[in-house]
């Protein structure tokens, strides 16, 4: 559904237009896993879809005992992957909350990732999940040549994930997040890593958006002319290049990449590229994500403000 035609509300569900995933989420909330097994089994050769579906389903299952029952009743690649996904979410939440169980939950999560990897050695998803936990202990592997700041980090873990899928979206985003200031990194380090990763990626890859992700993370509203940063030539060029080379590929995706589209639309609006932003919002349809809008205020308000800026209607 085109974004400039809908009259309802924004749809914030992370399944977006993956209708099968949305229906499986209903089953998972009801304590049923058979449809989840089928939805994941069909993604064994599609790592992007496998990462997307398993992450969304884990967010639905993390507060229940569904994956424990599933793994006990039907051990296999799908139940092992879901156990790893859920265990990692629980470990990270516990660590962020300074829960006394955090260390034990992290050990469980690491073991679950190892089990999932052993069940399906070709799958990079368990390694992306491990990267999500890297910030808990801040590994200091030396950076490869080519980075100005040479920031240490989980480079070996990241390199292994890339041997399985060199352009794995989630692995790249998890790795970049390690260098964010909120996790103990630095602004310059995050920019350096984002530029390094984006330059390696094919022109038509969503990974070319990584510098825009790092730019949002570094946003400081107290700085002079903070809202005008996206108008600088380097950032405007990054957004327009992604619009030219990546946006046309979105029509071939099996699900709408709403988060990537949101980062691109936001950057184009901020760079005063209204025509390009309008096309990006149209590709998003009615689907919405909290990021990047939540960095600048209430997400729905910021999204509506951006749509108005390029002449699009907003939901009633």
Q: State yes or no: pLDDT of 4 exceeds 50.
A: no
Model confidence pLDDT, tens digit, residues 61-120: 999 999 999 999 999 999 999 999 999 999 999 999 999 999 999 999 999 999 999 999
205-244, pLDDT tens digit by residue? 999 999 999 999 999 998 888 889 999 999 999 999 999 9
Cβ neighbors of 145 (< 8 A, separation 6 or more) are none
Gap between the Cα atoms of 289 and 174, Å rounded = 17
Model confidence pTM above 0.75 = yes
Both tokens of 140, joined, read 């200091």
**pLDDT score, position 50:** 98
Closest CA to 40 of 58, 64, 63: 58
* Predicted local confidence at residue 3, as pLDDT: 42
Q: What is the pLDDT of residue 25?
A: 97
What pLDDT score does 216 carry? Answer: 97
What pLDDT, on the 0 to 100 scale, is given for residue 8?
72
List, for residues 152-170, the tens digit of each pLDDT value: 999 999 999 999 999 999 9
What's the mean pLDDT in 278-302?
Answer: 96
Cα 315 to Cα 5, 56, 304: the distances in Å are: 10, 25, 8
Q: How confident is the model at residue 24 (pLDDT cuts 50, 70, 90)?
A: very high
Express the helix, strand and coil content of the chain in percent, nearest 5 each.
65, 0, 35
Position 2 pLDDT exceeds 60: no
**Total residue length of the chain:** 316
């Amino acid at each position: 559904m085109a974004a400039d035609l809908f009259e309802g509300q924004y749809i914030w569900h992370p399944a977006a237009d993956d209708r099968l995933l949305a229906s499986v989420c209903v089953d998972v909330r009801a304590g049923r896993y058979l449809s989840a097994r089928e939805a994941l089994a069909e993604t064994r050769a599609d790592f992007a879809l496998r990462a997307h579906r398993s992450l969304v389903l884990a967010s639905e299952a993390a507060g229940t005992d569904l994956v424990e029952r599933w793994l006990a009743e039907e051990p296999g690649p799908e139940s092992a992957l879901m156990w790893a996904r859920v265990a990692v979410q629980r470990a990270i939440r516990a660590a962020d909350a300074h829960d006394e169980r955090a260390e034990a939950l992290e050990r469980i999560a690491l073991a679950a990732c190892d089990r999932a990897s052993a069940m399906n050695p070709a799958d990079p998803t368990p390694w992306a999940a491990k990267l999500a936990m890297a910030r808990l202990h801040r590994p200091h592997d030396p950076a490869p040549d080519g980075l100005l700041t040479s920031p240490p980090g989980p480079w070996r873990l990241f390199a292994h994930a890339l041997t399985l899928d060199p352009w794995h979206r989630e692995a790249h985003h998890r790795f970049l997040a390690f260098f964010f200031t909120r996790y103990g990194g630095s602004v310059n380090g995050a920019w350096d890593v984002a530029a390094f990763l984006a330059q390696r990626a094919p022109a038509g890859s969503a990974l070319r958006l990584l510098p825009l992700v790092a730019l949002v993370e570094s946003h400081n509203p107290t700085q002079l002319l903070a809202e005008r940063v996206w108008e600088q030539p380097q950032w405007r060029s990054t957004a327009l290049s992604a619009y030219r080379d990546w946006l046309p590929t979105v029509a071939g995706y099996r699900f709408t990449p709403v988060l990537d589209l949101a980062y691109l639309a936001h950057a184009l609006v901020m760079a005063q590229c209204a025509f390009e932003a309008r096309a990006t919002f149209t590709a998003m349809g009615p689907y919405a994500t909290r990021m990047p809008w939540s960095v600048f205020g209430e997400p729905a308000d910021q999204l509506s403000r951006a749509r108005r800026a390029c002449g699009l209607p907003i939901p009633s």
